[in-house]
Chain A
Amino acid sequence: MFELLRKYRTLFLLALLFFVALSFYSFQLRRRDTTNAGERQVLGLLFPMQQGVSRGSSFLGSLFGGSADAEEFLAAENRRLRAELIGQEELRRENERLKGLLAFRDQAAVPTVAARVIGVDATNWFQTVTIDKGSSDGVSEGAVVVNDQGAVGRVVRNASRSSRVLLITDASSAVATLVERTRSRGICQGTGAGLILDYVALPEDVVVGDVIVTSGLGGIFPKGLPVGVVVSVVRGGFSMFQTIQVAPAVDFARLEEVLVLSGAGSPP
């Protein structure tokens, strides 16, 4: 027996490693809505670097983003004035966004925490963002994240000073919704870049331009948050349901500030 183990030592170790990896994955699937200590450590380690990079890149963006041509850019005095102007423009835009968020916060009946996006998902396969607020700011797993445009997602992982938000456009996201005009119910599922409204029966009246809002069913998102607008409806074939494409209400490519509804949502 020992001879056999010694002879196939590498194979045995690899099989063991694979088994451990699969067991770990399987174990974590049952605890998918909680953050473990290792994750907290890595998120905590990355947080200051991500925050620093985020601040640095927004500063660089405001400095160089709007320069019209190279000659003006090379003139030192012009550059200083231009940078100042662009900085002010950036502040004005940020002010507008924050005003929108404040207006939304006044409407929301639950306590909210304002947060800034400091990182995006490391791959193209999933849609998550990292925000600069964590458990020490009152953000918990399952908390709903919104901005002044509508539903953004929910917190799936959190460390003490940062959290990760699963966007509603992620393929594993599903939001209980209804068509605002006709009150027809359906489930909005993420497709990476957009959304698909599923389980809307063929006789239901849905047309392009209809606004989709959260229905409040499912116990995660509060009722009435804008989710998106219908961009195409296909009826036909042998399906019992319509195929409805929805453009998200939130511009996820330019997501910078968000509100975490700390009183809404809870880990299922």
Chain B
Amino acid sequence: MTRCLSLLALALLCLLLQTAVLPAFLPAALKPELLLLLTVYLMLIEDFVRGGMLAWSFGWLLDVTSGAFLGLHAVVYLTIFLLGRWAILSLNGESRFLLLVMVAAVSFVQPLLLLFFGFFADLGGMWLVVLQHLVFQAGTNVLCAALLLLLVTHLHRRYPGRLRLPGIIHLKSAHGS
């Protein structure tokens, strides 16, 4: 329960960063999707049911600050989590490289799912926006994930035993394939 609440608080913090803090310092098109990265992290640490509910909540929170269709991101995030959680069962989640590949894959799948579920909401020329931003957005997300992983591993080394992040404790470049 504490972990769930901590993750929800972290999701709110990510939202604040995405909507107010980062846009003040980064170019307008550079918007790393921190909530999506948090959802990928969920795939490592949560089971299907609890993680699914958290991913839906993350999507719902994102709906409040993005777009005009409440529930759209929620369905997309839930679908992403279920697909990703299922895929990660057969992958080595402790490999940094695979985790980055996962972020890239999720970044490509998310807008496609937005288009699919957004079909019911009449999103108009959304596919144009997706085509314009797809590769750049995936690159931004992967870069942001790589920086966060570097930061986490650095903090692990600096404060051994004090910083415990479930799921990525053993995340080192030496691990995995």
Contact = CB atoms under 8 A, between A and B. Distances in A.
A170 B128 CA distance: 11
Contacts of B114: 125
A191 interface: yes
A17 B56 contact: yes
Nearest to B130: A125
A53 B21 contact: yes
A29 interface: yes
Interface stretch (B95-103, B118-126, B151-159): B118-126
A45 B133 CA distance: 30
Given A10-B48, A45-B12, A196 B67 contact: no
B19 interface: yes
A23 to B, nearest CB: 9
Contacts, number: 169
A134 interface: no
A26 B20 contact: no
A140 interface: no
A172 B126 contact: yes
Interface string B40-69: 000000011100110010001110111111
Contact of A190 (B120, B125, B132): B125
Interface string A98-133: 000000000000000000001111111110101000
Interface residues of A, number: 56
Contact size class for B? Answer: 35 or more
Contacts of B33: 122-123
Given A122-B19, A253-B28, A17 B52 contact: yes
Contacts of A42: 61, 64-65
A263 interface: no
A120 B8 CA distance: 21
A88 interface: no
B129 A53 contact: no
B133 A125 contact: yes
A158 B124 CA distance: 24
A32 B120 CA distance: 12
A43 interface: yes
A126 B68 contact: yes
B66 A123 contact: yes
B31 interface: yes
B147 interface: no
A36 B63 CA distance: 12
A21 interface: yes
B108 interface: no
A215 interface: no
Contact of A171 (B21, B29, B78, B128): B128
Interface string B11-29: 0100110111101110011
B171 interface: no
A190 B33 CA distance: 22
Contacts of A10: 47-49
Interface in A17-47: 17-18, 21-22, 24-29, 32, 36, 38-39, 42-43, 45-46
Interface of B: 12, 15-16, 18-21, 23-25, 28-29, 31, 33, 35, 47-49, 52-53, 56, 60-62, 64-72, 74-75, 78-79, 82, 111, 114, 117, 120-126, 128-130, 132-133, 137
Given A124-B29, A171-B129, A172-B123, 6 more contacts: A13-B49, A17-B52, A28-B71, A57-B25, A125-B129, A157-B64
13 contacts: A10-B47, A13-B49, A14-B48, A27-B71, A32-B69, A54-B20, A118-B20, A119-B19, A124-B29, A125-B67, A172-B126, A189-B124, A196-B125
Interface of A: 10, 13-14, 17-18, 21-22, 24-29, 32, 36, 38-39, 42-43, 45-46, 49-50, 53-54, 57-58, 60-61, 118-126, 128, 130, 156-157, 164, 166, 170-174, 189-193, 196, 253
